[in-house]
Amino acid sequence: MRIAEEVAPAIRGTARLDGAPPRVRSGWPVWTVVVGAVAAVAFWVVHEALIDDSYITLSYARNLAFHGHWGLISGEVSNSATAPLNVLVLAAFTAVLRQPVVALGVVFVLANIALALLLRAAARESGLPGWTGPLGALLVVGNPLVLSTVGLEMTLASALLGLLLLAAVRCQPVLFGVAAGLLALTRLDLAVFVLVVLIGRPGLWRGWWRWLLTAAAVALPWFTFSWFYFGSAVPDTLVIKQLQRSWGDWDFSNGLWLYHGAYSTAVVVALIPPLLGLVCLPVLCAMRAFRRAVRLWPWVLLGLGGVAHYYVYTLMGVPPYHWYYAPSLIGLTLLLAGALGAARRELSLLLGCGLLVAQAWFAAAHGMPWREAAIATNWASAADYARIGTEVGRQVGAGTVSSPGEIGTLAYFCECAVVDGFSDRGYLPDQLRQRLDAASPPVRALLELNYRNFTPEPPRPITHVLRREPGPGEWSMGSTWAGDSHLVLERREG
């Protein structure tokens, strides 16, 4: 791929990467409408196929919006929402729109529009054509794996990565601090991107106190409140998920190959853009070493952030939940968008349109609307859990039912007390003890500091047990991942 500084005369309507100012054009509202329309259609396609963890987020948002309560179920305060900012944003829209799924759709569309605008602004500052931004946003919004995370924090995270890119392009410490603080509130592991950009953009070092104070002003109020009110600054999922070390021979390092076996077409379509970005990465790094393609360097840093994120998660040995791969895919896809903007226009548009067509083809082939996420590890579809959860709520009433292992969609539609470690912190002491026993001394010290203000309380008494069994039954359910099974509700005596 030839970079724009070498082929600038052949690129119509764009500036060179050698310092020439970009040509200003109008027309961004048209691209905004296009991206917004595509995002709206994409949400309609997936809105009936949200994964179980998405409904955990929606339950938090609904309880906060309607009752001012932070918890998965109404009767218990919990701290298992991995992305506090995502919950806060969804709760704000839910309070106005009164329907959590509708609020999610609005946030999804607005976040993708914001990503397109931020990428477009970064592209203009980098001397790239304006269509680079919308192209990058469309490649992200149409990715089957990213669409399989709708309801989680990845849509919001992609927009904030666009903000981080713009701050890196402009070398603005305050904007960088805002992006860093918001990314930390969205998910702490996204700080990997912040660190990579900070290392690779020395211009930000001169204003270190400006971005540091700004990031602290954005993020510290919530973490301080959480530390004192919930007893832990970092959500409990840090402990819960790290106890789930692997799935047999499968962990984060090889999990994509596992998904390829179950969802081959979805995984191939999802991986083509980031793999192309990965191919561009060493070429652009080499060119940067020879002081060429300098203006494309911030885009390269996002790609490096994606690689670093993958490496960090591999070292942590976490299970290969498919949404854990989304940050790496997004970072490398945005790098690809920048590389396409810097290459020959005809080649870039042809390749970009080809990728978008492949994504649209897959979305249509998977069914309209989807009944199951393109990539998912749940035991049942959202429709199955909605049906069963409603009936469980009718039978349990004011009682407490133990979760069968997946809690989000059941709790959302049950609107009753479904409990496990995600909804009832009475289970946390045992989980924390296991994690502390396995931790190295530095990690153990950090965990003890995080939970210094935590006051354990006993778990809620269980009145009903919800159990999953193989094969068909009264409450039958199924999924591509887990096959057919059913749930059984039993009353616990005494």
Question: Among positive and negative, which fits the CA dihedral 170, 172, 175, 180?
Answer: positive
Report whether the peptide linkage leading into residue 369 is cis, meaning its omega lies within 30 degrees of zero.
yes
Q: Are 114 and 31 in contact (CB under 8 A)?
A: no
CA atoms in the 13 A half-sphere facing the CB of 162? 27
| d(C-alpha 145, C-alpha 128), whole Å | 27
pLDDT at position 244: 77
Q: What is the pLDDT along the chain (494 residues), one digit of tens a residue?
A: 333 333 233 333 333 333 444 444 445 678 889 999 999 999 999 999 999 999 999 999 999 999 999 999 998 999 999 999 999 999 999 999 999 999 999 999 999 999 999 999 999 999 999 899 999 999 999 999 999 999 999 999 999 999 999 999 999 999 999 999 999 999 999 999 999 999 999 989 888 899 999 999 999 999 999 999 999 999 999 888 878 766 778 889 999 999 999 999 999 999 999 999 999 999 998 887 667 667 899 999 999 999 999 999 999 888 999 999 999 999 999 999 999 998 888 788 899 999 999 999 999 999 999 999 999 999 999 999 999 999 999 999 999 999 999 999 999 999 999 999 999 999 999 999 998 998 889 989 999 999 999 998 999 999 999 999 999 988 999 999 999 999 999 998 75
> Rounded to two decimals, what is the model's pTM?
0.92
Helix (H) or strand (E) holding 487: strand 483-491
pLDDT in tens, 134-149: 999 999 999 999 999 9
Q: Where are the alpha helices (DSSP H) in 230-325?
A: 237-242, 255-262, 264-289, 297-316
pLDDT at position 243: 80
